[in-house]
């Protein structure tokens, strides 16, 4: 999705009036004006500035918000990159078939990012699903040291979490043409690691490009991999608003499942492009899952000696299938 929009005169008048109501600013559009819409949902209600989820007050798109005078408008290179990536996203399996409300799109985000934000919101977890926290890690370590059964408690948590999010897992697998057990298996392995609080600390203390190698969310995906899978390009130059919105999105468990599926789909296309979910064999599944852990740089022949992560998925195949029924 590109960054520029053409608006009819009547719509420009409605938008200008809306801005006046919210901010008191009078906006006059010329015929060739490109409008940047402020629609960050998480922001500080006092300043209007974007924050991480939970640190500000949430307003749905179109709700009350202050205009952030520091909002970033992507430069020409970024717009060209997103235009190219938006065209590329049309071949991303069934993602182009998703019909979402474009009026709610955040203009500076990629098309697939916008679509997954809306789509993932339709598949909440079951009400009894427990989430992982810093206190869970403390209890796990105590049980492990004192009682010797900490690992079983973690596995109990993993099972209930995968089962609780089975609707998201199955839909994400369908959209990206993957076996749902593969998506469930990666989620099973990753959830129950560092909680979000630890991820943020790790990100804050790292410097330069190493920040982008920080893994976030319950599915533990690096910021750089998230940016690539969300079609910001492999040599991306994220604006601060884009970067913060990616981090905020990953913190949402539903979104992170869809993002993990998109990334797994990209990894499938790296080695086995064109292979449908129904045609995948055990080695292919293990290779794709292992790449989730090792990345894209390892040659395919060398990946065959690094399939332990993938085998942890396939050995639980029947259990995973039962969890997501």
At residue 96, the pLDDT reads 77
CA torsion sign for 214, 216, 219, 225 is negative
Q: Please give the Cα distance from 223 to 245 (Å, whole number).
A: 11
Of 229, 224, 256, residue with least CA distance to 243: 224
Q: Element (H or E) spanning 42, and its range?
A: strand 42-43
Q: What tens digit of pLDDT does each residue of 104-114 get?
A: 999 999 999 99
At residue 213, the pLDDT reads 74
At residue 56, the pLDDT reads 40
At residue 262, the pLDDT reads 96
For the chain, give percent helix, strand, coil, nearest 5: 55, 5, 40
How far apart, in Å, are the Cα atoms of 272 and each of 88, 115, 279, 280?
Answer: 18, 25, 11, 9
- 307 phi/psi in degrees, rounded to 5: -95, 10
β partners of residue 57:
43
At residue 44, the pLDDT reads 42
Q: What tens digit of pLDDT does each residue of 30-83 get?
A: 554 443 333 334 434 444 444 444 434 333 333 333 333 344 444 544 444 444
* Low pLDDT (below 70) residues in the chain: 1-93, 132-150, 193-210
Number of C-beta neighbours around residue 142 at 10 A: 11
């Amino acid at each position: 999705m590109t960054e520029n929009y053409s608006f009819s005169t009547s719509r420009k008048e409605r938008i200008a009036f809306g801005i006046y109501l919210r901010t008191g600013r009078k906006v006059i559009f010329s015929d060739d004006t490109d409008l940047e819409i402020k629609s960050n949902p998480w922001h500080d209600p006092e300043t209007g500035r974007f924050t991480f989820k939970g640190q500000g007050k949430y307003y749905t798109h179109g709700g009350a918000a202050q205009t952030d005078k520091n909002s970033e408008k992507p430069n020409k290179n970024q717009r060209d990159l997103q235009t190219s990536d938006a065209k590329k996203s049309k071949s991303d399996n069934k993602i182009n078939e998703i019909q979402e409300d474009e009026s709610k799109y955040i203009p500076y985000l990629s098309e697939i990012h916008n679509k997954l934000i809306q789509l993932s919101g339709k598949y909440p977890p079951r009400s009894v699903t427990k989430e992982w926290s810093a206190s869970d890690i403390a209890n796990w370590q105590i049980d492990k040291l004192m009682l010797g059964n900490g690992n079983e408690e973690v596995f109990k948590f993993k099972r209930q979490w995968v089962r609780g999010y089975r609707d998201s897992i199955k839909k994400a697998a369908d959209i990206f043409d993957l076996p749902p057990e593969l998506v469930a298996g990666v989620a099973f392995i990753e959830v129950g690691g560092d909680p979000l609080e630890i991820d943020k600390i790790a990100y804050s203390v790292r410097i330069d490009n190493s920040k982008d190698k920080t893994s976030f969310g319950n599915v533990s995906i690096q910021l750089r991999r998230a940016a690539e899978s969300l079609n910001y390009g492999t040599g991306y130059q994220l604006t601060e608003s884009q970067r913060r919105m990616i981090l905020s999105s990953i913190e949402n468990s539903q979104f992170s499942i869809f993002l993990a599926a998109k990334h797994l789909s990209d990894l499938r296309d790296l080695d086995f492009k064109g292979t449908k979910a129904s045609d995948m064999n055990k080695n292919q599944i293990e290779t794709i899952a292992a790449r989730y852990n090792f990345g894209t740089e390892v040659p395919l022949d060398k990946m065959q000696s690094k399939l332990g992560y993938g085998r942890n998925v396939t050995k639980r195949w029947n259990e995973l299938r039962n969890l997501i029924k």
